[in-house]
Structure 1
Amino acid sequence: VKVSVLCLLPQAVLSRWACVRACPASCSCTQERSCSVLCDRSSMAELPKEFPCEASAINLDKNRLKFLSERAFGTLPSLKSLSLDHNNISFITPGAFKGLSNLVELKMAHNEYISYLHTRTFTGLKKLVRLDLSDCNLFSIPDRIFIEQIALKELLCFQNNFRRIPGAIRGMENLTHIYLERNKIEAVAYNSLLGLGSLKYLNLQENRINVIHDQAFQDLVRLENFYLNDNLLSELPRLAFKGLTRLKMLNLGGNQLTNVSRTWFSDLVELEILYLDRNQLVNIEEGAFENLTSLITLHLNSNNLTTLPFPVFQPIYFLGRLFLFKNPWECDCGLEWLKDWMESYKLVRDVPCASPSSVAGLDLSEVVFAKVNGTCIDPAELNLTTASSDIASTTENRFNSLISKLLQQELREEIGNGTESLRNGTLLDSEEVELSGVRGQRALADQSFFCFLVLIWDIFLLKYQYVKLIVSVICKEQQQ
């Protein structure tokens, strides 16, 4: 009778009842679209003896699990997702996941005591699509560990201790995403990434890569996002990214590159974002950006660049965003085009000038480029010319003032002498001669001192010859 009653119940009600009925004591089970078993944060040291056979998802995160025996989960044909993150798992028996034939996602991240995986660890998981082994203290994994996982698309192995790219991924034609950041990988060999024709995302950032072999990326013909930032690269192969015609984003920031070769990016016709920041760049070869016709954003900040010649930039003139801050820019006429571009498109700011000294500390947007006969004058030259003009102007003013004072003094003496002659009309002729002689000597002394000053100024400011000419004329007129 009980069986007949159960059979009369709607299938959804029956599934819900079965999911809850078989739920482990320390877990909670919910039936929305499918049966989910939530056993996270339950302080489990051992797995429950059984799970609902209808379970499609099991969460065992943040427990104290240490050991997975063979067929640890029994037979769960409906299980699609299994999460074992943040446990203390140290050993996984070969065949531990047998019976989970339809498992699509397996998460085992942050189990820092694993360190070793057997070749047959994942036996039986033929439909596995996503595997997370991040932060498990792994030093290596067997080359043939994924021999059955032909459907695997996403492999997350970041924050382990790999010194080389695991050979196990070689030839996995369905892999689309590989996460290998924050390991200790030192090189990318020519055969490290062979046979990965479907790969779209590759993350190798924050490793110790200092060598990339020629043609190491030749099979990554569908790669779209590539992270090589924060490594130890000081140079790249001449044709490092040859064939990556679908690449959208390339991050080379945080390395030790000093030069950008004109051959690196020649095939990256679909590249939209390029990071070259936080390197030691001093030079970008003309033609380096020539084929980047789809580029939208370029990061050149935090390098040692002093100039950016227009021929280098011209192929990407219609760029959307350009980052140039934290470079020792030399704001001379070589960057006049950049200032005009900045003012026209309003897409760049923070281009601090390190030189010349006349504009050091200013932003390029604040620098004024003067022109003489249509030719740009560097701020340093302009500053020198302006300073010289100011000196000449000041000298001329002082000189004119001196002339004026001397002439006024002579005029006052002449008037005073005339008045005194009228007042002392009884003076003897000899006295008049003597007084005239004294006045003549004083005038001659004044003229000599005046001409001496002219000579000093003439030596100090050779370029202002007209001053000498004027003084000479005045001296001659007084002597006459």
Structure 2
Amino acid sequence: MTVIIFTVSVLCLLPQEVLARWACVRACPPSCTCTQEKSCSVLCDRSGLAELPKEFPCEASAINLDKNRLKFLSERAFGTLPSLKSLSLDHNNISFITPGAFKGLSNLVELKMAHNEYISYLHTRTFTGVKKLVHLDLSDCNLFSIPDRIFIEQTALKELLCFQNNFRRIPGAIRGMENLTHIYLERNKIEAVAYNSLLGLGSLKYLNLQENRINVIHEQAFQDLTRLENLYLNDNLLSDLPKLAFKGLSRLKMLNLGGNQLTNLSKTWFSDQVELEVLYLDRNQLLYIEEGTFENLTSLITLHLNSNNLTTLPFPVFQPIYFLGRLYLFRNPWECDCSLEWLKEWMENYKLVRDIPCASPSSVAGLDLGEVVFAKVNGTCVDPADLNLTTASSEITSTTENRFKSLIFTLIHPEFGDQMGNGTESLRNGTLIESEDGQLSAGVTGQRAWPSESLFCFIVMWLSLGLIGQSDLFFSLYCT
């Protein structure tokens, strides 16, 4: 054992021209495959390994140990591999990592340890000696926290993946890491974004906090993230936000607040987001949008307002973003009255939005807004509900007047009875009936009607002309 380790160490210290004589394949561990194209890669994935191989080619630049049965990493577990840039240990059974396990990997840039469900603890000196690390993946482990000073040597770290763990707070270890550009913390159990959680992250461009339990965001919690471009806060428990929640995020291009419990939108929230292009507000409980909420979003291209409780969208609220490219409004209980006439016109003119089903008024419920006809009276829009009432009243009045006029005409000009055929609509199938003395009188098919009765009908109609509903009633009782 000692002889082998010594031999490997000596080989790694030999000049490059001597190492060139040794092919990557010759030093390949059993159960692994080694290839040397541009560089030496050692492929030991899916090999059923319960322990690490005793040695690796010293010129190895990448080692893949995914999907094995590794449980333990001892100190200097990989020996000295000065050329190693990438090491992957995903999908193993690792439960303990000895401090200094990665010593000897001085040029390691990428380290993956995701999907090791038994890793619940990391020592402060776990990554000692790995000073050039840029990409670290600790996703889908069983971590409840990580020590605050664990990354003290990893000043070059840019991408940190810690999603699907058990963190209840944003790890304090990331504070002050000036080179971090991407942080993945989704699907944890984080409950708040404190005022100091994200301090000193001036290079951060991507922050994912979706699918946590966040119900509180402190005022100006994101103030140091001056270069942030993508922020995911969707599928949390937010019911409100502080006035200056997103203060300082002037370069933000995508903000996702979908799947929360927001009921209102404040005009102070998005005051700094002049470069915002995509905004998700879907799957909330929005009832009201304050005028001025979108006034600074001059770069907005896509807005998601679907799956809320919105009934109306006043034009002054929408006007600053009138020329955005995509607007999603479906699954809201829209009240399709005249306040949405502008939206229908916008739909028809720009063809950029569809599926706006009306929930009210009842006369248009179930229709899409694009199918609703807004009538004009003297140039003023009439709500569908009012339009129906007006139409109904007009029909009643018209019917009554027609009956009245027709009755008078028949009484005054009985000689035209034959020409009226079997009655008019106003007389309800009335005809002229010949009496025993040969006189003609107005009547109803199958009934006899006398002149006195017709005169009585005339008096009733005269007295109740202004009472539309009652005149119909009297007419029905006495004249049919």
| TM-score w.r.t. length of structure 2 | 0.86
Report the alpha carbon displacement of residue 460 of structure 1 after superposing the two structures with TM.
3.0
- Structure that is richer in helix per residue: 1
Equivalent AA in structure 2 for residue 271 of structure 1: L
Counterpart among 467, 476, 479 of residue 459 in structure 1: 467
- 1:60 maps to what in 2? 65
1:236 is matched with 241
Q: State the Cα distance separating 1:388 from its structure 2 match.
A: 1.7
Compute the displacement of 1:172 (Å).
Answer: 0.4
| Residue from 124, 127, 143 that aligns with 2:129 | 124
Q: Which runs of 5+ in 1 are unaligned?
A: 1-10, 421-440, 469-480
Counterpart code for 1:174: N
Query: Do the aligned partners of 2:397 and 2:468 also contact (CA within 8 Å) in 1?
Result: no
Whole-angstrom distance in 2 between the partners of 1:419 and 1:185: 97
Question: Within 2, Cα distance between the matches of 1:86 and 1:12?
Answer: 37
1:372–1:35 Cα change, 3 Å? same
Report the alpha carbon displacement of residue 91 of structure 1 after superposing the two structures with TM: 0.1
Query: Partner of 1:97 in structure 2?
Result: 102
2:396/2:468 contact within 8 Å kept: no
Letter in 2 for 1:319: L
In the alignment, which residue of structure 2 is the partner of 1:443?
451
Give the distance between the partners of 2:78 and 2:436, measured in 1 at CA: 126
- Distance in 1, matches of 2:186 and 2:104, equals 32
Q: Structure 1 residue aligned with 2:173, among 165, 168, 172?
A: 168
Give the count of matched residue pairs.
435
Alpha-carbon offset, residue 392 of structure 1: 2.5
- Tell me, yes or no, if structure 1 residue 333 matches structure 2 residue 332: no
CA shift, 1:12, in A, is 11
The residue number in structure 2 matching 1:5 is none
Q: Supply the AA of the counterpart residue of 1:338.
A: L
Identity %: 84
Question: Which secondary structure state, in structure 1, belongs to the residue aligned with residue 87 of structure 2?
Answer: strand
Separation in 1, partners of 2:462, 2:79 = 110
The answer on 1:314 being equivalent to 2:319 is: yes
Larger Rg, first or second structure (1 or 2): 1
TM-score normalized by the length of structure 1: 0.86
Once structures 1 and 2 are overlaid, which stretch shifts more, 455-464 or 336-345?
455-464
1:402–1:166 Cα change, 3 Å: same
Choose which of 3, 14, 22 in structure 1 pairs with 2:27: 22
- Spell out, residue by residue over 1:390-440, the C-alpha distance to the aligned partner (whole angstroms, 9 max, x if none): 2233333444554566567687678974699xxxxxxxxxxxxxxxxxxxx
Whether the 8 Å CA contact 2:214–2:238 is kept in 1: the answer is: yes
The one-letter amino acid paired with 2:217 is: I
C-alpha change, 1:108 and 1:442, in structure 2 (3 Å) is closer
- Contact 1:203–1:226 (8 Å) recurs in 2: yes
| Equivalent in 38, 45, 49 of residue 44 of structure 1 | 49
- Counterpart of 2:468, as a letter, is F
- The superposition leaves residues 309-346 of structure 1 with CA deviations (integer Å, 9 ceiling, x where unpaired) of 11111111110100000011111111111111111110
Contact 1:16 1:35 in 2 (8 A): no
How far apart are residue 446 of structure 1 and its match? 3.3
1:343-362 correspondence to structure 2 within 5 Å: 343-362=348-367
**Partners of 1:96 and 1:102 in 2: how far apart?**
14
Task: Map 1:127-146 to 2 at 5 A.
Answer: 127-146=132-151
Secondary structure at 2:389 match in 1: helix
Q: Distance in 2 between matches of 1:16 and 1:385?
A: 97
CA distance in 2, matches of 1:417, 1:140: 111
Residue type of the alignment partner of 1:297: T
Question: Where do 1:218-229 residues align within 5 Å?
Answer: 218-229=223-234
Query: How far 1:387 sits from its partner (Å)?
Result: 1.7
RMSD of equivalent CA atoms: 2.5
- Helix, strand or coil for the counterpart of 1:18? coil
